[in-house]
Amino acid sequence: MRYLKGKVVALLVSGATAVALAPSASAAPLPNFSVGLQLSDGGCRTEFGTPGFTRFANFGGTSFTPYVSDTNRFDPDCARIFLNPAFGGGLLRGDIDFRIGGRARDNNGREVGSLVYTPWASDGGGNTDSMITDSNSFDPDEYQLVLETRPLPPGAGFSDFRFMIFARDAGEGDGEAKFTPWASQNGGPSDFAPDRNNFDPDGYVIGLEVV
């Protein structure tokens, strides 16, 4: 079982500090999980692309989603992130630490951005240090997320976690942050996250919130 590491971590979201309490402070078993992403267009109302998922965390190592986009694979407007629980109620191994990250590409795959990551769960989680975008930081067509695992450091632990996503646009600023349900609530998808004008963001910031 996991145990409570300490106080709830504050995620810096769109220039404000948002603190959210997990549903319970008990050390309940958490589900094995994968990470997923889905894109859409039309201000989050049309052209819903096929979600892409990593492997499940208990497999270990590093796992990528396929590159995902909206249905015409051009300038999607919105994205949502999935905390996807394993089928059949499988539980997360107690010796796994993890972080999530991503990158984006444009122009038929020729403009690939750098991989960016959140801090590790054992370090308290947090947001990616920069946005997920392509090499010129302008209106990517396709996005890819990554789940990376390692052995949990001695003495470290966490009792619950969830994911966050918000859109960023150079001309419009940051959109509203959207959160998945907590892992202890069996996870699920966030709402779709647009930028402030619901049109062609330059990238996304994702977060790992841990208690």
Which of 23-37, 39-53, 98-112, 178-192 has the least mean pLDDT?
Answer: 23-37
Mean pLDDT for the chain overall: 91
Residues in Cβ contact with 123 at an 8 Å cutoff, skipping those fewer than 6 apart = none
DSSP β-bridge partners for residue 159? none
| CA atoms lying within 13 Å on the CB side of residue 116 | 21
pLDDT in tens, 164-210: 999 999 988 899 999 999 999 999 999 999 999 999 999 999 999 99
Q: State the pLDDT at residue 43.
A: 97
Q: Is the pLDDT of residue 10 over 50?
A: no
Higher-pLDDT residue of 183, 15: 183
Averaged pLDDT for residues 25-32: 78
* CA dihedral sign of residues 129, 76, 134, 58: positive
**What pTM was computed for the model?**
0.89
**CA–CA separation, 170 vs 127, rounded Å?**
18
Pairing of β 62-64 and β 78-85: unpaired
pLDDT in tens, 47-79: 999 999 999 999 999 999 999 999 999 999 999
Averaged pLDDT for residues 32-52: 98
Q: State the pLDDT at residue 106.
A: 98
**Which long-range contacts does 11-19 make (Cβ < 8 Å, 24+ apart)?**
11/125, 11/126, 11/127, 11/164, 11/177, 11/207, 11/209, 12/126, 12/127, 13/127, 13/164, 13/166, 13/174, 13/177, 13/207, 14/166, 14/173, 14/174, 14/175, 14/176, 14/177, 15/174, 18/177
Which residue from 184, 127, 123, 183 is spatially nearest to 156, judged by alpha carbons?
123
Residues in Cβ contact with 23 at an 8 Å cutoff, skipping those fewer than 6 apart = 160, 182, 184, 185
Q: State the pLDDT at residue 8.
A: 42
